[in-house]
Structure 1
């Protein structure tokens, strides 16, 4: 993939310390964890990029990080051209992914209340994503939704997405998981805008969820995953 000179210059700068590149700043966008990537906002000469990297992690995490970064880069390549999806600018090394910075805040930290237009445009982004065969699978997490400085939506964090390029039952089922996450976020942040049809879908989704895997049944699994992470990868 070809990159512009400006993007390449930004990529080279990412390998330098702030003292080596006048005017470059680095800000952590995510709390550091021993088993997760370091996510940094890089600002240089008026440009902003996001670097997600596992290069400074322990060996087991670096190995897993290599796979996750490669997969996420592939997913971004499938979503290229969709407004509201970050653009990959470079892969400085096999542990690292650099994308455009979308600005604004995520829906967990923002004090702004998304309105009708926000959710309409967000719905369009999700529809286009599904048409490309990509299912996010983590749209219940408000941190994966962004609202930029103009109040427009975007999505981030595609490392654990599914890719089902062929239309069919499987993709429809997985897409339903995304839509349920979307509706839960909308219901939480702007319940007045939930339509009767959306309320019906939410009720149906909750019923199916209770019949399939009750929360109390999955809690031991979640606890075990947390225990294994702390035991083998270090505490959070």
Structure 2
């Protein structure tokens, strides 16, 4: 059993807490593991445990796909993953040693998980894409993944296809740093904003303007005191 008391807390969010822990003799192929554990009140903890078990099933579908951490197992509703040494793309987007190679590999990973019936659906968060010391991508945190259900009806199949497209749109956004006017013909085939994204974009812009205006007013009030 993994001993969390000796672990390093990496993050805490709506899905639970994430630790980096020594692998121990039970896992001779790894020095460190990532452990995701449910926390909170009994009701919240029960929901998070369900999410962790669901994420474990996602990783079972993704076994062997390059650019995805290896899932070590599920222990007492704690998800155990191999530790990937890397920096979030958020911190490395402008410093990739070989940008084309990195994004070609990331596209292959996306296409691989889509063929396996999984859409990440939260790839626009650059923290979910790691850059390894070798300059290669690793896609992490499948807690919000959308699965392609077997024998599903039109609506659920449509939802999965939309989630796959959102992944590809995020790939384009990261590769071109949101400078869509520079999109090449070869990559343009991957970019097709979904209805959800088209609706959310003006709402997000409006919200940014409102919050920026409130910030400026608060700053002026503070400076006048």
Q: Do they superpose with TM above 0.5?
A: yes
Name the Cα RMSD after superposition.
3.2
SS in structure 1 of the partner of residue 68 of structure 2: coil
Q: Distance in 2 between matches of 1:197 and 1:134?
A: 24
Q: Is the 8 A contact 2:173 2:180 kept in 1?
A: no
Contiguous gaps of at least 5 residues in structure 2: 25-29, 208-225
Pairwise mapping of residues 91-110 of structure 1 onto structure 2 (< 5 A)? 91-94=74-77, 96-110=78-92
Offset of residue 58 of structure 1 = 1.9
| TM norm structure 1 | 0.70
1:191 to 1:40, Cα distance in 2 relative to 1, 3 A: farther
Q: Deviations over 1:176-219 (max 9, x none)?
A: 111111111112189898423435764x5289843x44542898
Alignment CA distance shift 1:27-1:175 (3 Å): same
Question: Is 1:28 aligned to residue 9 of structure 2?
Answer: yes
Check if 1:119 corresponds to 2:103.
yes
Equivalent residues of 1:72, 1:159 under 8 A apart:
yes
After superposition, the C-alpha distances for 1:3-42 in whole angstroms (9 at most, x for unaligned) are xxxxxxxxx2x23643xxxxxxx22222x35x44111111
Could you tell me whether the CA contact under 8 Å between 1:135 and 1:175 is conserved in 2?
A: yes
**Aligned pairs, number:** 195
Q: Say which of 163, 173, 185 aligns to 1:174.
A: 163
User: Larger RCO: Structure 1 or Structure 2 (Cα < 8 Å, ≥ 6 residues apart)?
Assistant: 1
In structure 1, stretches of 5+ residues that fail to align are 1-11, 19-25, 221-236
